[in-house]
């Protein structure tokens, strides 16, 4: 398994912050919501979603297209 890059770590941390923000600003007043009623669960879920986004992003390559010019 490859070592995570700083961009992937940033996506995971950003997801965790977004999950906590969801808990803080939206939350669940009754406590019956399984994800948004607990700050640890919502932060973990956000970090998981950030990780999934980070690892599913396509890798950019510097390959040039062969446009058929020249012989």
The answer to whether 52 and 12 have CB atoms below 8 angstroms apart is no
Share of the chain above pLDDT 70, in %: 77
pTM for this entry = 0.71
Supply the pLDDT for residue 24: 93
Q: Are 15 and 47 in contact (CB under 8 A)?
A: yes
Report the C-alpha gap between 32 and 10 in whole angstroms. Answer: 31
Q: Which of 35, 31, 53 is nearest to 44 (CA)?
A: 35
* pLDDT at residue 71, as a whole number: 52
Query: pLDDT tens across 31-64, in order?
Result: 788 888 899 999 999 999 999 998 876 666 666 6
């Amino acid at each position: 398994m490859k070592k995570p890059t700083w961009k992937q770590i940033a996506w995971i941390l950003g997801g965790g912050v977004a999950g906590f923000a969801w808990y803080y600003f939206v939350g669940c007043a009754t406590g019956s919501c399984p994800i948004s009623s607990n700050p640890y669960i919502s932060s973990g879920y956000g970090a998981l979603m950030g990780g999934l986004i980070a690892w599913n992003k396509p890798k950019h390559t510097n390959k040039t297209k062969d446009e058929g010019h020249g012989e």
